[in-house]
Amino acid sequence: MRVKICGITKPIQGKTIASLGATALGFICVRASPRYVTPEQIRAVIDELPQQIDKIGVFANSSKEEIAQTVAESGLTGVQLHGDESIEFCQQLRESLPKVEIIKALRIKNTDDFTKAKTYTKYVDTLLLDAYHPQQLGGTGKTLNWDTLQKFDPDCPWFLAGGLTPQNVSEALEKVKPSGIDLSSGVETAPGDKDLDKVRDLFEKLKN
């Protein structure tokens, strides 16, 4: 199973989290977020990482040009679209960045959003489901209702996100069978500052 730890800001934390077992690290490219990092800061983290780990930039309603420029400057291998990006936008971005993994994130408000999520599967590489919050785009610590996700089985790989912690991840994975999980605020001491003990605890829980 893929394990993505998101909201990395510090090279030493990125390197340690990769060595603990993360398969992907995420970098917030949304300026309004307290976890925002510039392309130069992302590059400084990526320079310390093993080649095989996925390096995902998180964007929300950015232009294709801005995304492409950030990818080129930083060395990202994937982009997570966490805003209101349309199917057409995802399709065009995939054409212009054919070697980059395109992940469409959907913030789930009600069960209609599962149907909406499935309409993207042909046009992206991966889906990500996060919890809806009226004021914040992500990194909210809010969980999805995992019971409603038991039958979610799209035609492409998908990440479960939203409020996952070392304490609740086992319960989530008993109920839901995603291709990967994504954690941010559940393994932090403060926004953008990862708690390495919590990350260790997470990987211990995932071994069982």
Ligand X SMILES: O=C(O)c1ccccc1N[C@@H]1O[C@H](COP(=O)(O)O)[C@@H](O)[C@H]1O
Mask of contacts with ligand X, 11-50, x by CB under 6 A?
A: ---------------x-x-x--x-x---------------
**Shortest spacing between CB 170 and ligand X, in angstroms:** 16
Tell me which stretch binds ligand X (CB under 6 A): 16-24, 87-95, 108-116, 130-138. Answer: 130-138
DSSP label at residue 143: P
Verify binding: residue 137, ligand X, rule CB under 6 A.
Answer: yes
**Shortest spacing between CB 163 and ligand X, in angstroms:** 5
Beta strand residue intervals within the chain, DSSP E: 2-6, 24-28, 54-59, 78-81, 101-108, 126-131, 158-160, 180-183, 188-190, 193-194
Tokens read off for 131: 């919890």
Mask of contacts with ligand X, 58-97, x by CB under 6 A?
A: x-x---------------------x---------------
Active-site residue flag, 156:
no
Among residues 42, 140, 149, 178, the one that binds ligand X under rule CB under 6 A: 140
Which residue is it, tokens 């730890």? 5
Q: Write the CB contacts of 49 (distance below 8 Å, at least 6 apart in sequence).
A: 14, 15, 18, 25, 55
DSSP label at residue 28: E
List, by residue number, the catalytic residues: 6, 130
